[in-house]
Each structure stands twice: as structure tokens, then as C-alpha cells.
Structure 1
């Protein structure tokens, strides 16, 4: 089977198609025929070597974290799914390897794909949707009237965070570029700010929660628009942020909280329910498998609304 792998850290050029055996099914695992794979910032941050402390430096390695597909085979002790079931799920965040014709997973790593969405949409839910759920379930107290600012809200996490926060009764302000204005409105934001025309940091409004998804609003700047008791969420922390947040949280009512993604079966099930109920899942670009290098060269530029995915359709 074909699998995308790399043997050293670097840009998209290090990615190659490898011919490898179809993975063997163990007693408690399932073999999934992959239909689509999401593209996430974690993919290129790990591939570039930015996250060696968490991901390690062992090669060769695969790429791709969340996926959708069809159950091909089940282990003798894996009884929840049967051959032909359509599913979506998530692999180990720091090991990935979903961008492959076949993968093996545990039952806890997947859930049934809603029939109302495409394989491409399903593939893009697990990482960003779980991140949004984890923010509002473990890092902040979301309730009716909570003032939430989402900076850089037109991507995947922003798409889910905006909608989930609104469903929780929050008052949501999103900061986007020109191309993200309509998406912010479509996803239900109460206020949509175009950063090209307005600097949210110079406004008079203060927030209970500030989520920076752009990497361009550090806590040092965000705190000027945060209420006395509030929370700033960093969604891609490194060692520097871990140390900084520790000392800030000792002395400040404005808390610096870090999202360390921990997927769960409960999050996957909840995301499936959201999809069934009609939550917007925008996949603005789908690449064929053989265009994987182009995909990983283009998507980091951040010009896509929602998510992008790689499909296995047409693979020969």
C-alpha cells in the first residue's frame, strides 16, 4: 500500500510516497481503509522539527492525524464495528500516520460517521473539534453571556469554537481577514472584526475569554482587553509558553491557559452529534492524494476558510 512518510525534518520536500505492507490487525484493533485525511498545523510543526520534545526524532515517520474511512477488518476482541462501517477518528497526535491507504486503530479512536456529511468533512472534525470542546469544557467556564474573543477565527478551530461558544450562550466576537468576514457571520458570531480595518486591541470592549488562533496576539498584548478575572488561551504552546504561564498564573487574575490536546471518545461522539444537528463544517479545499506536497505547501499560508483535506479517491 501507499503511505506518505519522511526520514528527516524539513519542509514539504521531505515528504515521499512509500510502498509498505498493509498493517496487521491485532486482537483489539481495526483495519480502516482511509477515505480522507485532514491537514492540521500540527502536521507541519512536527514535520519541521518544532515539536521534537513531544514528538521525538525517530524516523521514518508518517503524517496526518485525523481521518475518515471504512472499516475493512476487525480484531477478534473489537466487536463495536463491523466491515463496511463508515467512521471518522483520530490517531496519536504526535505520531500521526493517517495519510496512508490503510491504518489500524483502536475502537476508542473512532466513531460512526454521520450520513449527513461527506468523508472529507468527517476527516476534518476530530482535531479542531476536540480542541474547541476541550477549551470550553476544561479551560474556561462557558455560560450564558460569557464574552469570548476569537482572534484568527476563520480556520478550523475558530469554525468549531465560534459555533460551540454560541450554542453555550456566549457573546462571540471574531477577528478575521477580508475572506473570513462572511464565514464569521455564517457561524453565528455576534461581532465580526476585520483586522485590516480595525485593531481590536484599541477598542473599549473587554472579554472574559481571549482565544488566539493566529499566533499574533500574545498574552502581553491580549491582557489589555481582558477583564480582571478572565482567561487567555494559547492553542499551540511550546516550552516558553509553559514556563511563562506558570509564573503569570501565580500572580494574575488574568489567567494564561494552555491547550494541550487530549482527544477522547466522548469528544468524537459529541462532534458526531454536532454534525448530525447541522453544525457548519467548511472544507474549502480538497487535494487528491498525489498532490500531497502541493497541499502541505499551500495550506500553511492560511488563506483557506475552515479546513483543507487530502482525499484518497483516484489513488492508483
Structure 2
């Protein structure tokens, strides 16, 4: 089968599309034929070697976290899924493996795909959907009427977070580039700020929750427009950032949180239910697996609305 792997940390040129054996499963796992896998910034953070303390130094390593596909085979202890089921799920975050024709996963790493969405849309959901749910479940619980600022509101997590915040009755201010204005409005944002023309720090408004999905709005700036008791959340964790966040929160009511995604089947089921209930899933670019380098190169430049997805025949 085809699978994207690498034998050392480095730039995109360390990645190769290799022919490897189809993985074998045991009694507690399933074999899924992957139809689509989505691109996440964490992918290149890992293969660049930025997270060696978490990923280690064993090679070869695999690429790809979230996927959608069809169950090909089930272990003898699996009772909630059968061959032929359409599913979406998350591979091990730090080991990857979803960018392949087949992936072996545990039962708790997948859920059934809603019939109303495509494999491409389903592959775009697991990481960003679980992230958005975890943020509002653990880091920044919302109440109706709260003021929420989302920097990067038309990116992968942003498009989902904006919709979930609105579902919970929050007032959403979306910070986007000019190409994202129409989409931010379509997703129901109450206020849309084009960062190319307006500086959100010059607004007099203060916020209960600030979500920085673009990773270009550091806490020391965001603090200026946070309410006395409020929460700032950023993504792409690092050991330094996690420690710094913990120490800061001991002494301030303006909390600084770092998303460290802890996937769960409950989150997967919840986001799948939202999708079945009409959640908008934005996939703005698709690529065949043979064009994976082009896909990652273009995604890393930024500016992608929603998600980019790699399809596998």
C-alpha cells in the first residue's frame, strides 16, 4: 500500500510516498481503508522536529492525524463496528499514520460518519472539531451572552469554533483576512474585522474569551482587550508554552491556556452529530495523495479557508 513516511526530521523533502505492507490488526483494533486525510499544522511541526521531546527519535515515522474511510476488517473484540461501515477518526497524534491507503486504529479512535457528508468533509472534522469542543468543554466554558473574539475564524478550528460558540449563545467577533470576510459572515459571526484594515487592539471592546488560532496574536497583546476575568487560548503546544501558561494562571484572573488536544470518542461522536445536524464543514482544497508535497507546501503558506484534504483512491 501507499503511505507517506520519513526517516529523519527536516523539511518537506524528508517525506516520501513509500510502498509498504498493509498493517495487521489484533483482536482489539480495526483496519480502515482510508478515503481522505486532512492537513494540520501539527503535521509539519512534528516532521520538522519541533516536538522531539514528545515524538522521540525512532524512525521511520508516519504522517497524518485525522481521516475518513471504510472499515475493512475488525478484530474479534470489536462489537460496535462492522466491515463496510463508513467512519471518521483520529490516529495517534504524535505517531501519525493516517496519510496512507490503510490505517489500524482502536475502536475508541473512530466514530460512524454521517451519511449526509462526504469523505472529504468527514476527514476535515476530527482534529478541528475535537479541538473546538475541548476548548469550550475544558479551557473556556461559555455562557449565553459572552463576548468571544476568534483570531483566524475562517481557518480549520476557527470555522468550527465560531459555529459552536454561536450555538451556545455567545456573541462572536471574527478576525480574518479579506478573503475570509464573506465566509465569516456566512458562519454567523456577529462582527467581522478585517485585520488588514483594522487593528482589533484599537477597539474599545473587551472580551470574555479570546481564541488565537492564527498564532499571530500573542497573550501580551491580547491581554489589553481582555475583561478582568477572562480566558485566552492558543494552539500548537510546546513544553515551554505549557509551563509558562501554568505558572501565569497561578497569579492572574486573566487566564492563559494552551490547547493540548486529548482526543476522545465522545468528542468524535459529538462533532459527528453536529455535522449530521447541519454544521458547515469548509473544505477549500483537495489533492490526490501523489500530490502530498504540493498540498503541504500550499497549506503551510497559510490563508486556507477551512481545511485542505488529501484524497486516496
Q: How far, CA to CA, are the matches of 2:129 and 2:141 in structure 1?
A: 18
CA distance in 1, matches of 2:293, 2:103: 20
CA deviation profile, 1:210-239 (whole Å, cap 9, x unmatched) = 111111111100000000000010211212
Q: Does 1:213 align with 2:213?
A: yes
2:204 matched to which residue of 1? 204
Query: In structure 2, the residue corresponding to 1:97 is in which secondary structure?
Result: coil
Match of 2:292 in 1: 292
> For 1:167 and 1:193, how far apart are their aligned partners in 2?
21
Cα shift at 1:183: 1.1
Following the alignment from structure 2 to structure 1, what is the Cα–Cα distance between the partners of residues 62 and 184? 34
Q: Deviations over 1:179-233 (max 9, x none)?
A: 1101111111110100011000111000000111111111100000000000010
Structure 2 gaps of 5+ residues are: none
Determine the structure 1 residue equivalent to 2:177: 177
Equivalent in the alignment of 1:16: 16
What residue number does 1:260 align with?
A: 260
In the superposition, the TM-score normalised over structure 2's length comes to: 0.98
Work out whether residues 135 and 141 of structure 2, in 8 Å CA contact, stay in contact via their aligned partners in 1.
no
Give 4+ residue runs of structure 1 displaced > 4 Å after superposition. none
- The alignment's C-alpha RMSD in Å is 0.9
1:48-75 per-residue CA deviation (whole Å, 9 max, x = no partner) reads 1111111112111110000000011111
Question: Displacement of 1:247 after TM fit?
Answer: 2.6
> Which residue number corresponds to residue 279 of structure 2?
279
| Partner residue, 2:159 | 159
Give matches, 1:86-235, under 5 Å.
86-235=86-235
Q: Quick one: distance in 1 between partners of 2:74 and 2:251?
A: 52
Query: Is residue 238 from structure 1 mapped to residue 238 from structure 2 by the alignment?
Result: yes
How far residue 81 of structure 1 moved from its aligned partner, in angstroms, is: 1.0
User: In 1, distance between residues paired with 2:311 and 2:26?
Assistant: 26
Partner secondary structure for residue 251 of structure 1: coil
Higher mean displacement: 121-130 or 241-250: 241-250
TM-score (norm 1): 0.97
How many residue pairs get aligned? The number is 313
1:42 maps to 2:42: yes
User: Within 2, Cα distance between the matches of 1:255 and 1:48?
Assistant: 30
**1: CA distance between counterparts of 2:84 and 2:168?**
35
Q: Which runs of 5+ in 1 are unaligned?
A: none
Partners of 2:265 and 2:240 in 1: CA distance: 30
How far did 1:44 drift?
0.5
Secondary structure of 1:138's counterpart equals helix
**How many Å separate the matches in 2 of 1:246 and 1:273?**
33
How far 1:298 sits from its partner (Å)? 0.8
Deviation at 1:243, TM superposition (A): 2.6
SS at match of 2:69: strand
